[in-house]
Homo-oligomer: A and B are copies of this chain.
Amino acid sequence: MEVRDRAPERGRVPSIRDVARLAGVSHQTVSRVLNDHPSIRPETKDRVLDAIAVLDYRPNRAARALVTSRSDVIGVLSATVGEFGPTSSMAAIEEAARVEGYSVTTLNLPDTGPDAIGAAVRQLVREQVSGIVVLAPQVRVFHVLRGLAIDVPFVSLQTASGATADTLSADQVAGARLATQHLIDLGHRDIVHLAGPQDWIEAESRMRGYLDALFDADLPTIPPIRGDWTADFGHFAGLELARRGDMTAVFAANDLMAIGLMHGFRDAGVDVPGDVSVVGFDDIPVAAHVWPTLTTIHQDFPELGRRAIALLLAEIRGEQRPVFGPLAPRMLTRDSSAAPGRR
């Protein structure tokens, strides 16, 4: 037996065979230890684990991926460039996945046409991701995904109309209801909704909560304005609504639009909250500091991300799905942008 055979070259990363040699077993036994195979003698296992520790051995992911056709990579399909919420969830997703030994690869959707979605998913499947988190809250992304019938587990971070087991989100409807009810409680009767894009599921949910609250309070509904989530659009909407003047309060579907809206009102000489009250949604970091300070709905985006990973990993491993309590949005009454309505 040659010495060269026993001593791994310096600097080379140890392989399963190095571990086997050191532990005095076959590389196959090491593999069993690594994969928690049931039938293995405890003391053998300990010897192997010791060797693993000594060599600081870590399985080669490429080799494992090659043979299993699975990669221990979670793919994140994102269509939310710079949105505050999804971005906040992302960090949590990444961290939670790493803790469980998965790495995360991101793929941004340039547009949300069916072709682009299909191509993106195929790309991730080709990279043999173990699972996919969808951070693309557009309705059609959701439908396309369902239609693709991919064999990779996926979790969608959004509210589906009929929320199913593989979707997750804070209760957007309840949050929007809170916001609207707050305005109603302040005595407002003519409340306009500055909504998100038609294609977005969360936009629909927030609109629903708004409509529900109005309905329950027996208040008239005014046609909502369709925005695009941006502050620029909010500004435009403010100018427009100031011209119409048919409301005393606006519930904006997100803070960015709410801030732009207040800017538009300001430009048009409409006082907030003197003439019109405004409530936002999301609680972005500047919400507490703009003028007027923004009353809004706070959501726990990181927790949402963590839950997404928990759900996805259960799916991947074939374990039982965790059951989560409701993730209730919270009302932040800063009450500078919203004031009692004039009777």
**Residues of chain B contacted by A62 (CB below 8 angstroms):** 62-63, 65-66, 71, 128
A235 within 8 A of B: yes
Residue of B91, B98, B289 touching A234 (CB-CB under 8 A): B289
Seen from chain A, the residues whose Cβ lies within 8 Å of a Cβ on chain B are 13, 58, 60-63, 65-66, 71, 73, 81-82, 84, 87-88, 90-91, 94-95, 98, 103-108, 110, 123, 126-128, 230-232, 234-235, 256, 259-260, 262-263, 266, 285-286, 288-291, 293
Q: How many whole Å from A260's CB to the nearest CB in chain B?
A: 5
Q: How far is the CA of A66 from the CA of B63 in the complex (A)?
A: 6
Ranked nearest first, the 10 interchain pairs of A and B with the lowest CB-CB distance are: A62-B65, A263-B289, A62-B66, A231-B289, A260-B289, A291-B291, A290-B290, A105-B105, A103-B105, A62-B62
Separation of A106 and B135 alpha carbons in the complex (Å): 16
Q: Which residue of chain B has its CB nearest to the CB of A257?
A: B289
CB-based contact A105/B290 at 8 Å: no
Q: A126–B63 Cα gap in the complex (Å)?
A: 12
Measured CA separation A42–B238 after assembly (Å): 64
Name the residue on B nearest A59 (C-beta): B126
Q: Which of A256, A259, A266 has the most CB of B within 10 A?
A: A259
In contact, A286 and B290 (Cβ under 8 angstroms): yes
List chain B residues, Cβ under 8 A from A123. Answer: 98
**Which chain B positions have C-beta within 8 A of A108?**
91, 94-95
A73 and B105 in contact, given A66-B63, A87-B82 (Cβ under 8 angstroms)? yes
Given A62-B65, A87-B82, check contact A289 B259 (CB 8 Å): yes
Q: Contacts A286-B290, A289-B235, A290-B290 hold; do A81 and B91 have CB atoms under 8 A apart?
A: yes
CA distance A73 to B91 in the complex (A): 19
- For A301, the closest partner residue in chain B by CB is B82
CA of A128 to CA of B58 in the docked complex: distance in angstroms? Answer: 12
Q: Which residues of B contact A60 (CB under 8 A)?
A: 66
| Contact pick for A107, options B81, B94, B290, CB 8 Å | B94
Q: Which residues of B contact A88 (CB under 8 A)?
A: 82
Q: Which residues of B contact A262 (CB under 8 A)?
A: 289, 291
A302 CB, nearest partner CB in chain B, Å: 10
- Min CB distance, A124 to chain B, in Å? 9
Among the interface residues A58, A60, A106, A231, which one has the most CB atoms of the partner chain B within 10 A?
A106
Task: Please measure, in the bound complex, the distance between the C-alpha atom of A205 and the C-alpha atom of B234, giving whole angstroms.
Answer: 34
Once the chains are docked, how many angstroms separate the CA of A234 from the CA of B66? 51
Question: In the assembled complex, which residues on chain B have CB atoms less than 8 Å from the CB atom of A293?
Answer: 263
For A106, what are the chain B residues with a Cβ–Cβ distance below 8 Å? 90, 94, 104-106
> How far is A90 from B78 in the complex, measured between Cα atoms in Å?
12
Q: Is the CB of B81 within 8 A of A231?
A: no
Alpha-carbon separation in the docked complex, A292 to B104 (Å): 40
Chain B residues lying within 8 Å of A285, measured Cβ to Cβ, are: 82, 230-232, 256
Compute how far the CA of A146 lies from the CA of B19 in the bound complex, rounded to whole angstroms: 32
Contact A95 B82 (CB under 8 A): no
Q: Are B291 and A263 in contact (CB under 8 A)?
A: yes
